[in-house]
């Protein structure tokens, strides 16, 4: 079964090129539009496997489209496909619920591979930006979490959250901790509930930012 995507990008030449690239690799583009509002409408009507979304667009930008789709309760992965390698843009997208952040200059096979990984539940960040998350995660992992929402987490939940922040999926977490996938899923649900977020990506970003702030002195 081919992967079905909706492309929302205001550059017509890029849309045409990407449609051709994806179709040659057995990925069906259900629609490709340049207007964010039209994209929101089509995402509801077509129910694609993945929404591919440009960040910088006129009228309504990609992050706003992403937030709107999440507010509507759509559950398919939404992936930012952009030219911006700015780390704050990456964090903004992940906090808004993006399942991936890919760059337009990626190799075609790398892009397709990332989309297939995202389709099975993984969170994928373009290779040049992976180091941004790693740098934050490698901050000070021993920082006390006695304040804020993290204080409600059990030691096991905190352990799982740390592995989630490293980008590990449920299967890998289960293997690393010697517990079942089902047990990991239950812990992940509890973590999301206690942190008041809707996705594991939001939880991971929240954790990363918390540790990054706690590990470094305040400049201002």
Domains and CATH numbers, the chain: 3-128 (3.40.50.2300), 138-215 (1.10.10.10)
User: pLDDT tens across 55-81, in order?
Assistant: 888 888 999 999 999 999 999 999 999
pLDDT tens across 151-199, in order? 778 878 888 998 888 888 899 999 888 888 899 999 999 999 888 888 8
Least confident among 86-95, 116-125, 132-141: 132-141
Measured at the CA of 56, the angle between CA 201 and CA 108, to 5 degrees, comes to 70
- Using DSSP, state whether 168 is helix, strand or coil: coil
Q: What gap in Å lies between CA 151 and CA 158, rounded to an integer?
A: 9
What the block records as the tokens of 85 is 């390698």
Whether the per-residue pLDDT at 135 is higher than 70: the answer is no
pLDDT one-digit tens code per residue, 6-54: 999 999 999 999 999 999 999 999 999 999 999 999 999 999 999 999 9
pLDDT digits (tens, 9 = 90+) for 111-132: 999 999 999 988 888 887 876 6
**Mean pLDDT throughout 92-103?**
88
Q: Is the pLDDT of residue 137 over 60?
A: no
pLDDT (average), residues 96-120: 91
- In order of 18, 22, 34, 201, the CA distances from 27 in angstroms are 10, 5, 19, 25
Least confident residue range of 91-95, 144-148, 201-205: 144-148
Q: What is the pLDDT of residue 210?
A: 76
Predicted TM-score of the model (pTM): 0.62
Provide the pLDDT for residue 123. 83
């Amino acid at each position: 079964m081919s992967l079905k995507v909706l492309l929302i990008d205001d550059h017509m030449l890029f849309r045409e090129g990407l449609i051709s690239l994806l179709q040659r690799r057995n990925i069906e583009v259900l629609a490709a539009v340049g207007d964010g509002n039209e994209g929101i409408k089509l995402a509801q009507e077509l129910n694609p496997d993945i929404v591919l979304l440009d960040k910088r667009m006129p009228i309504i930008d990609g992050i706003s489209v992403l937030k709107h789709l999440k507010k509507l309760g759509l559950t398919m992965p939404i992936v930012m496909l952009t030219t911006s390698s700015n780390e704050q843009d990456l964090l903004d997208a992940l906090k808004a619920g993006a399942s991936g952040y890919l760059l337009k200059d990626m190799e075609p096979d790398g892009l397709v591979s990332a989309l297939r990984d995202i389709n099975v539940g993984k969170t994928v960040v373009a290779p040049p930006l992976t180091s941004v998350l790693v740098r934050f995660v490698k901050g000070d992992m021993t920082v006390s979490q006695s304040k804020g929402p993290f204080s409600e987490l059990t030691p096991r939940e905190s352990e799982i959250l740390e592995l989630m922040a490293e980008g590990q999926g449920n299967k890998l977490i289960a293997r690393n901790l010697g517990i079942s996938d089902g047990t990991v899923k239950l812990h992940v649900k509890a973590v999301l509930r206690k942190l008041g977020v809707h996705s594991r990506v939001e939880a991971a970003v929240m954790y990363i930012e918390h540790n990054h702030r706690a590990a470094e002195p305040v400049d201002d």
